[in-house]
Structure 1
Amino acid sequence: MKSSYRKCRTFYHKLKFYWSVNWTKTLYFNFKKFPFATAKKLPVFFYKRVKFTSISGEIQINGNIKRGMIGFGQPYELNTVHRGIAEINIQGKLIFKGKFQFGKDYFLFVGENAVCELGNMSSMASNAKLICLEKVVLGNYVRLGAESQIMDTNFHDIIDTNTGEKQEKTGPIFIGNYNFSGSRISIMKNTKTPDFCTIATNSFCNKDYTSWGNNILIGGIPVKLIKTNISRDWEGEKQQLDDFLTI
């Protein structure tokens, strides 16, 4: 009886999961952007509603291609409701270094001539925003909380009112391996973090923090060094993350 119940429960969860996939957008995207040998494996899944404003850019997947390894709107968080405002606009180059997940109601923009690299087993949770006009690189196992935003641009020209000199409008962003954040963080142009960096909720990052070393906790507006010799238990969670996020 217990064995039959487990099988029925497993079947129900699988059915519920596949029901959440937007198969029209999933099939269209994969066969539009990848060679047939790659597309037939369906490496990219879209969940619920999403608007393709543009997918004219280049999309590259490195490593072993597996079904559903990249999830846009993937239901991996506690919240279960989509508001249905997800949007992607890819005009430049988007590179996946392995598995990656966007949570619900995300916005992804990669501008023309821009390069965005997303590391293996990295993610941005619900209501995340990633805007890349020059270069954004996320290392492996970068796990960013809900309502986080990454923007490598000011959008508008900023000038020195004494000299009239213009600041650079864009600046590259490099997030190290095994970075973890709370919710509502802002990562702006010229940000660079070390490996094994934890970023507190409601933080604002806009500088190079690699000189502070690895295994650090940073936070604040703007970010300050809060604690050293601290890290998420990545080794203890690796298998759990892989099992939970693999389709």
Structure 2
Amino acid sequence: MRRIFNKIRRVWKFYTAVNWMKTIYFNYKKFPFRIARKLPVMFYGSVKFSDISGEIILDVPEVKRGMIGFGQKFELPTRSKRIAELSVMGKLVFKGHAHIGIDCFVHVGEGAYCEFGYMSCLGSNVKLICKEEVILSDWVGIGYESQLTDSNFHPMMNTETGELYPMTSPVHLAKYNAFSNRISIMPGTKTPENCVIASNSVVNKDYRDWGSNILIGGVPAKLIKQNYNRDWEGEKEMLKKFKIIW
């Protein structure tokens, strides 16, 4: 009897957490009926659609219900400030299940390309701004209150030569990257596979020559430790069970 009660409570908690109006509206607006009826993208809590005129692509072998969660409460903080916002004018691609925490801001500008790999994740209060190209490969986790942008937003120049620096530069985060909290991921960042980035760091260049299984951190980030990595294999099944709704 206790097991049945707990199951009913979990189901009730899930159904009351989903923002059904935004979920149904988004899916039927962005996908053909045969895909929309499966509700592959689910929104939890309050969220503002600033502009969703762009393209949403599910590049997956099989579309499943709730495979993309926006506003999921999978971290210790569970109370929302109701500031979540989604703006997609370019192309947003999902390669599998992906999870976006509470109070996140995701912006994909006109003509830009943003990709989420399988089991990629944004923690709560993360800001992702894509003006050219941002790629999160499989099993990339970005900790809470971090920011990721591929743009400087303003034209910067060399004051001696008058040369203008590029305003945007692609960001590519390789597989099995664990970003801690409050990290700034800046234009031009490229990471190797199996990499850990320490809290409060600033990453802003190509780190792939440093090799895999490394810990980097600092302002700007430097190599801190080698032969260091998150135990992804030990956590995989737990993360799937915890984050995948259906």
Aligned match of 2:90 in 89, 92, 110?
92
Aligned length: 244
Amino acid at match of 1:216: I
Question: How many angstroms does 1:246 deviate by?
Answer: 1.1
Cα distance in 2, alignment partners of residues 195 and 201 from structure 1: 18
Aligned to 1:170: 168
Cα distance in 2, alignment partners of residues 125 and 10 from structure 1: 26
Aligned to 1:213: 211
Aligned to 1:67: 65
1:118 aligns with 2:116: yes
What TM-score results when the alignment is normalised by the length of structure 2?
0.98
* Residue segments in structure 2 that go unaligned for 5+ positions in a row: none
Cα distance in 1, alignment partners of residues 15 and 190 from structure 2: 38
CA RMSD between the two structures? 0.6
Question: How many angstroms does 1:136 deviate by?
Answer: 0.3
Cα distance in 1, alignment partners of residues 201 and 101 from structure 2: 20
1:56 aligns with 2:53: yes
Structural mapping, 1:35-50, within 5 Å: 35-50=32-47
Aligned to 1:144: 142
Aligned to 1:24: 21
Question: How many angstroms does 1:169 deviate by?
Answer: 0.2
Amino acid at match of 1:132: C
Cα distance in 1, alignment partners of residues 232 and 71 from structure 2: 24
* Residue segments in structure 1 that go unaligned for 5+ positions in a row: none
1:185 aligns with 2:183: yes
Aligned to 1:229: 227
Question: How many angstroms does 1:223 deviate by?
Answer: 0.3
Cα distance in 1, alignment partners of residues 166 and 103 from structure 2: 30
Identity across the alignment (%)? 55
Aligned to 1:9: 6
Question: How many angstroms does 1:127 deviate by?
Answer: 0.3
Question: How many angstroms does 1:182 deviate by?
Answer: 1.0
Q: Secondary structure at the match of 1:73?
A: strand
Question: How many angstroms does 1:84 deviate by?
Answer: 0.4
Cα distance in 1, alignment partners of residues 131 and 115 from structure 2: 13
Amino acid at match of 2:236: K
Cα distance in 1, alignment partners of residues 200 and 4 from structure 2: 43
Amino acid at match of 2:193: D
Cα distance in 2, alignment partners of residues 180 and 109 from structure 1: 22
Deviations 1:54-108 (A, max 9, x none): 0000000111211111011011111111110000110000000101111110001
Deviations 1:166-198 (A, max 9, x none): 000000000000000110001011000000000
Aligned match of 1:33 in 22, 30, 52?
30
Amino acid at match of 1:168: P
Aligned match of 1:105 in 97, 103, 111?
103
Amino acid at match of 1:12: R
Question: How many angstroms does 1:144 deviate by?
Answer: 0.9
Amino acid at match of 1:39: A
Structure 1 runs, 4 residues or longer, greater than 6 Å off: none
Amino acid at match of 2:144: A
Cα distance in 2, alignment partners of residues 186 and 51 from structure 1: 24
Q: Secondary structure at the match of 2:118?
A: coil
Q: Secondary structure at the match of 1:56?
A: coil
